[in-house]
Structure 1
Amino acid sequence: MLLPHHPARDWAEIQERMLVPLYEAVHERLGVGPGTRLLGLDCGTGLALLMAAARGASAAGAERDPARAELAVERLRWEVPVTPEAPAEGSYDVVTAFHAAFPPAVSPAVLTRAAQSGAAVVVAGWGPPERCAAEPLLRSADRPGAGPEALVARAGLRPVAAGRVACPFGYADGASAVRGLLSTGAFDAALRSAGPGPVEKELEEALAPHRRDDGTVWMPNVFRYVIARVP
Structure 2
Amino acid sequence: MSDTKPSAAASNAAVQGELWSSDPQSWAETAEGRILPLYERILLRLQPHSGTRLLDAGCGAGLFADLAARTGAKVMGLDAAPGLIAYARAHRPGPRYVVGDLGRIPFRDDAFDTVTAFNAVHYAADPHRALAEIARVSADRAVLTVGAGPDQARSAALVNPLAAPAEVPDAEAFDLTDPAAAGEALRRAGFATATTFDIAFDVDYASVDAAVAAQLPAGPVTAAVRHSGRAAVDAALRTLFAPLTRADGTVRMGMVFRCHLAAH
In which range does the TM-score fall when normalised by the shorter chain? Answer: 0.7 to 0.9
- 1:146-200 CA-to-partner distances (Å, cap 9, x unmatched) read 4162652452334433221113222222222112223232233322211212211
| Aligned partners of 2:48 and 2:68 also within 8 Å | yes
Consecutive unaligned residues of structure 2, counting only runs of 5 or more, are: 1-20, 161-168
Q: Given the alignment of the two structures, is residue 206 of structure 1 paired with residue 221 of structure 2, yes or no?
A: no
Aligned twin of 1:96:
116
Task: For 2:145, give the aligned amino acid.
Answer: A
Consecutive unaligned residues of structure 1, counting only runs of 5 or more, are: none
Distance 1:155 1:59 in 2: 23
| Aligned partners of 2:131 and 2:186 also within 8 Å | yes
Q: TM-score, normalised by structure 1?
A: 0.84
Aligned twin of 1:84:
99
Which among 203, 224, 234 is matched to residue 169 of structure 1? 203
2:42 alignment partner, SS class: helix
Q: Given the alignment of the two structures, is residue 221 of structure 1 paired with residue 255 of structure 2, yes or no?
A: yes
Q: How far apart are 1:35 and its partner, in Å?
A: 2.4
Aligned twin of 2:221:
187
RMSD between aligned residues: 2.4
2:153 alignment partner, SS class: coil
Counting aligned pairs with the same residue, the percent is 30
Q: Given the alignment of the two structures, is residue 124 of structure 1 paired with residue 124 of structure 2, yes or no?
A: no
Task: For 1:136, give the aligned amino acid.
Answer: R
Task: For 1:221, give the aligned amino acid.
Answer: M
Q: How far apart are 1:40 and its partner, in Å?
A: 0.3
| Aligned partners of 1:96 and 1:121 also within 8 Å | yes
| Aligned partners of 1:18 and 1:169 also within 8 Å | yes
- 1:11-44 CA-to-partner distances (Å, cap 9, x unmatched) read 2112211222221222111221212111000100
Task: For 2:237, give the aligned amino acid.
Answer: L
- 1:51-90 CA-to-partner distances (Å, cap 9, x unmatched) read 101122111100111111111111222x311101233315
1:137 alignment partner, SS class: helix
Q: Which has the higher contact order (CA 8 A, sep 6+)?
A: 1
Q: How far apart are 1:102 and its partner, in Å?
A: 6.8
Q: For residues 20-169 of structure 1, what are the structure 2 equivalents within 5 Å?
A: 20-77=36-93, 79-85=94-100, 86-89=105-108, 90-100=110-120, 103=123, 107-116=130-139, 119-127=140-148, 129=149, 132-139=150-157, 140=160, 141=169, 143-144=171-172, 145-147=174-176, 149=182, 152-153=186-187, 155-169=189-203
Q: How far apart are 1:6 and its partner, in Å?
A: 5.2
Task: For 2:176, give the aligned amino acid.
Answer: G
Q: TM-score, normalised by structure 2?
A: 0.74
Distance 2:62 2:71 in 1: 14
Query: Which sits farther off after the overlay, 151-160 or 48-57?
Result: 151-160
4+ long deviations beyond 6 Å: none
| Aligned partners of 1:87 and 1:113 also within 8 Å | no
